[in-house]
Homo-oligomer: A and B are copies of this chain.
């Protein structure tokens, strides 16, 4: 179902009064990165590679998120150079050369004026010029001009090179393992170090990712819009849920909403798990026939306008929660509520995690699923963290140690998964043997139930906003929605 994503975002701009134009936002993002790099620095960044599906068929192209963040360009074979010390051409984009044969096969390639208009950069050049451009630059030669005509455009960087102060800034991102091959940025850094004596290399990851962590007005509006599509998809999935249907039939109803609303893709593969499949965190087969009396857990969201929300609900296949399902659903809701209360500016996500965890511990003790609320027993059923950033990526970049501030977007997603296999996997100690023996009746009662409630939130200047409020959430809301279908 996936297409290149950006056109949807373009049409967003006009639809979002007050949110500002995308191109203004892109310019402001680059300006902040350039402030951090300084006039002695140069940033180089590349588009993502195309990924093979099978033989000569590729997966639909997914642009590198930082390239999207800095340029809005979703075309492969693109590179961005930022030279903050330049006089007028501080941002230079390199796009694929025109190629009529390729364009007849694959579609239109952005022309220079189109790329300039879409990204708002100062100058657009052809991708075939990039190597020569960098070589001239490093040799302190005018680029594409005679020496006599040189205007001093690159003087700040040339002076930095001459003084041995020039810095190459790259968004290195995740460090590769000792045995991994060197990713592109690391290889490029190595080649440049070898070829340009005196050039130092700096890591711009924290700069770019730090900016991405706090959403602009444009991004906030785009995230709300993307979340709305995902919320409507969840509602369609609730409507399509019926005993004896296959999980994939509900997935079809869900993802059809993405496509018909212009979202080019999911933000992550849909998780549609009924009965025991709800206890598998990233279950992705969707091949089971669901039965009356079971829960269906759906964790799914679209990628739209460059933003991915993240939403999970567990609803009853036949419309009514059983007593045990209701108890677990109410418990994760209460944990989420506690987390929401702790999600205030100045706190950290660890405070959100802690507040929810206390509720879960007490609740599990109450249900007989743990025997000691001060121990780590609850981790048998409560198996993952509940906060992550959202944005261009579903697990978006950001520093967890940074206090919450307005503009940060994240999920709160407590879940409980009652799997007998989790007991079997416990280390064989006297404490664990006693624990297993005592919780046996409760585990039998709640066995194979998986519940997770996950909403997408934005912290604003006036408090926490639940972006996914449109999806029924409490037991009463969900049962009423299921009863009112058709």
In the complex, which residues of chain B have a beta carbon less than 8 angstroms from the beta carbon of A270?
1
Is the pair A284, B248 in contact by a Cβ cutoff of 8 Å? no
In the complex, which residues of chain B have a beta carbon less than 8 angstroms from the beta carbon of A394?
57
In the complex, which residues of chain B have a beta carbon less than 8 angstroms from the beta carbon of A108?
280
How far apart are A386's CB and chain B's nearest CB, in angstroms? 15
**Does chain B have a CB within 8 A of A260?**
yes
For this complex, into which size category does the number of interface residues on chain A fall? 35 or more
Is the pair A52, B51 in contact by a Cβ cutoff of 8 Å? yes
- Pick from A123-131, A218-226, A249-257, A452-460 the stretch touching chain B: A249-257
Within 8 A of B (CB), among A377-401: 383, 392-395, 397
In the complex, which residues of chain B have a beta carbon less than 8 angstroms from the beta carbon of A251?
1, 259
**Does chain B have a CB within 8 A of A55?**
yes
Binary contact readout A255-267 vs B (1 if CB under 8 angstroms, 0 otherwise): 1101110101011
Q: Please, which residue of chain B has its CB at the minimum distance from the CB of A245?
A: B260
Binary contact readout A107-129 vs B (1 if CB under 8 angstroms, 0 otherwise): 11000000000000000000000
In the complex, which residues of chain B have a beta carbon less than 8 angstroms from the beta carbon of A60?
269, 284
Tell whether A106 pairs with B280 under 8 Å between CB atoms, given A2-B269, A57-B395: yes
Tell whether A266 pairs with B1 under 8 Å between CB atoms, given A7-B285, A252-B260, A285-B7: yes
**Does chain B have a CB within 8 A of A101?**
yes
In the complex, which residues of chain B have a beta carbon less than 8 angstroms from the beta carbon of A255?
1, 255-256, 259
Is the pair B3, A107 in contact by a Cβ cutoff of 8 Å? no
Q: Most B CB atoms within 10 A — which of A4, A255, A285? A: A285
Specify which of B3, B65, B395 is in contact with A248 (CB 8 Å cutoff). B3
**Does chain B have a CB within 8 A of A425?**
yes
Within 8 A of B (CB), among A258-315: 258-260, 262, 264, 266-270, 279-287
Binary contact readout A1-34 vs B (1 if CB under 8 angstroms, 0 otherwise): 1111001100000000000000000000000000
Q: Most B CB atoms within 10 A — which of A1, A48, A422? A: A1
Is the pair B57, A280 in contact by a Cβ cutoff of 8 Å? no
In angstroms, Cα B86 to Cα A136, docked, is 63
Is the pair A53, B57 in contact by a Cβ cutoff of 8 Å? no
In the complex, which residues of chain B have a beta carbon less than 8 angstroms from the beta carbon of A55?
65, 393, 395, 397
Is the pair B269, A246 in contact by a Cβ cutoff of 8 Å? no
Is the pair A282, B3 in contact by a Cβ cutoff of 8 Å? no
**Does chain B have a CB within 8 A of A100?**
yes
Specify which of B101, B256, B281, B424 is in contact with A256 (CB 8 Å cutoff). B256
Tell whether A252 pairs with B256 under 8 Å between CB atoms, given A280-B105, A280-B107, A282-B107: yes
Tell whether A7 pairs with B287 under 8 Å between CB atoms, given A282-B106, A393-B54: yes
Is the pair B1, A285 in contact by a Cβ cutoff of 8 Å? no
**Does chain B have a CB within 8 A of A421?**
yes
Is the pair B259, A248 in contact by a Cβ cutoff of 8 Å? yes
**Does chain B have a CB within 8 A of A321?**
no
**Does chain B have a CB within 8 A of A62?**
yes
**Does chain B have a CB within 8 A of A419?**
yes
In angstroms, Cα B259 to Cα A255, docked, is 9
Is the pair B284, A260 in contact by a Cβ cutoff of 8 Å? no
Is the pair B52, A104 in contact by a Cβ cutoff of 8 Å? no
Is the pair B280, A262 in contact by a Cβ cutoff of 8 Å? no
Q: Which residues does A use to contact B, with CB under 8 Å?
A: 1-4, 7-8, 48, 51-57, 59-60, 62, 64-65, 100-101, 103-108, 246, 248-249, 251-253, 255-256, 258-260, 262, 264, 266-270, 279-287, 383, 392-395, 397, 417, 419, 421-422, 424-425
5 cross-chain pairs, A with B, having the tightest CB-CB distances, nearest first: A252-B259, A252-B260, A7-B287, A51-B51, A100-B425
19 residue pairs bridging A and B, Cβ less than 8 Å apart = A1-B251, A3-B269, A3-B286, A4-B284, A7-B285, A48-B54, A53-B62, A55-B393, A104-B417, A105-B280, A107-B284, A246-B262, A248-B262, A249-B259, A253-B256, A255-B256, A256-B256, A262-B287, A264-B286
